[in-house]
Amino acid sequence: MRKLLVITGGTKGIGRAIIEKFIVNGFDVATCARKQSDLDSLKNTLGGDRNIFTFQADVSDRIQAQSFCEFVQGLGRPVDVLVNNAGYFVPGEISTEPEGNLEAMMQANLYSAYHVTRSFVHAMKEQRNGHIVNICSIASIKAYANGGSYAITKFAMLGMSKCLREELKEYGIRVTAVMPGATKTASWDGVDMPEERFMKVEDVADIIYASYTLSSRSVVEEVIIRPQLGDI
């Protein structure tokens, strides 16, 4: 039986690149997204003889996140790799950003990962195997102008990763926090900068897969990956 990658927000950007990387290396995939049309497009493009299990859900909503997890559990397969990728960015300053920014991004960027992880980690502990990857950000370690609530949520995501690492090491479960800098995704649409100034989504996916391929005696705890010319 093929191994199973579970990833939230897998239809675009870094998430899609991760799916493509793992599929090429023999994995089946279970993913979710807010739009059914995006999920259909993913299956039509990458399907064929590969098993891609899709479920429409906005994991910032706890009930929908739980429904996605129950869908995956219904497959009756162990989760070999879990990637908490769902999230979004809205620029702003803490003192002036719209009311509700923090709560909304906490739900999408942190609470989704918290609840999804809790749904799968017990089975991982029983099988004493698994790899959890949390997509954090350079904003997890560096404050910058207009980072606002986004940076708060990403600092918290790194904190959750550190806690999980300590809790799960004795069970053979690896935890990796990935902190990408500016990557060419839809979040940067409309920005007047040359494409070569950004990282490629494939580079982030390659780093994640490489961390997975290490022997069980080693773990990549944290990865910082930036554009060659530095942060934007």
Q: Which domains does the chain have, with CATH numbers?
A: 4-225 (3.40.50.720)
Residue closest to 215 by CA, chosen among 125, 135, 131, 121: 131
- Dist CA 47 CA 39 (whole Å): 11
30 with 55: CB under 8 angstroms? yes
Is the pLDDT reported for residue 49 higher than 80?
no
Tell me the pLDDT band of 196, cut-offs 50, 70 and 90: confident
Tens digits of residue pLDDT in 2-26: 999 999 999 999 999 999 999 999 9
Cα-flanking dihedrals φ and ψ of residue 54, to 5°?
A: -120, 150
CA distances from 27 to 3, 4, 209 (A): 5, 6, 11
Matching residue, tokens 């996605």: 68
Share of the chain above pLDDT 90, in %: 88
Tens digits of residue pLDDT in 128-146: 999 999 999 999 999 888 8
14 with 204: CB under 8 angstroms? yes
What mean pLDDT comes out for the span 162-171? 98
- Looking at the chain, the number of H-run helices and the number of E-run strands are 7, 7
Residue closest to 8 by CA, chosen among 113, 157, 139: 113
Tens digits of residue pLDDT in 61-88: 999 999 999 999 999 999 999 999 999 9
181 with 160: CB under 8 angstroms? no
Is the pLDDT reported for residue 190 higher than 70?
no
Indicate yes or no: pTM above 0.85.
Answer: yes
Mean pLDDT score of the chain, rounded to an integer?
95
